[in-house]
């Protein structure tokens, strides 16, 4: 059983389109994250949710909108895609306690053409 699953794994789309990436975790974790990994492999936090409530919203264009329908799901919707949005997006989850590790999904490679 996959602990944190993201769909799709690969996404190729044209500029200007709107797309969504879905994330689900079956670990019972309260905290979920979206990270962006750029071409240089740098991992940058985008959003963090705790029990469906947004607690971190880093400087991300408002074209990116997270949605957490319940604490097991955190989806990422991106409007008006731009070339610079091409990256690998990782969903992760964790318990909100000291020392708890983050469990990552397998990542979604988004390519905007």
List of residues contacting other proteins (CB under 8 A): 31, 33, 35, 40-45, 48, 50, 55-56, 88, 90, 92, 94, 96, 98-102, 104, 106-107, 109
Q: How far is the CB of 101 from other proteins (least distance, A)?
A: 5
Query: Whose Cβ is closer to other proteins: residue 22's or residue 109's?
Result: 109
Sign of the alpha-carbon torsion through 60, 79, 19, 10: negative
**Residue 43 C-alpha from the chain's centroid:** 12
First to last CA, the chain: 34
Query: Whose Cβ is closer to other proteins: residue 30's or residue 65's?
Result: 30
CA dist 1 → 4, 5, 78 (Å): 9, 10, 28
Residue with tokens 């029990």: 51
Query: Whose Cβ is closer to other proteins: residue 81's or residue 92's?
Result: 92
For 70, other C-beta atoms within 10 Å of its C-beta total 9
Query: Whose Cβ is closer to other proteins: residue 14's or residue 103's?
Result: 103
Q: How far is the CB of 72 from other proteins (least distance, A)?
A: 18
Reduce the DSSP state of residue 85 to 3 states and report it: helix
Q: How far is the CB of 86 from other proteins (least distance, A)?
A: 15
Q: How far is the CB of 94 from other proteins (least distance, A)?
A: 7
């Amino acid at each position: 059983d996959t602990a944190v699953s993201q769909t799709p794994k690969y996404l190729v789309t044209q500029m200007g389109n709107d797309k969504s990436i879905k994330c689900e975790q079956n670990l019972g974790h309260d905290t979920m994250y979206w990270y962006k990994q750029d071409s240089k492999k740098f991992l940058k936090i985008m959003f963090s949710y705790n029990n469906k409530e947004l607690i971190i919203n880093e400087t991300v264009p408002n074209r990116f909108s997270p949605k957490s329908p319940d604490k097991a799901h955190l989806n990422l919707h991106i409007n008006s895609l731009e070339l610079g949005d091409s990256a690998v997006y990782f969903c992760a989850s964790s318990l909100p306690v000291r020392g708890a590790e983050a469990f990552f999904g397998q990542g979604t490679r988004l390519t905007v053409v």
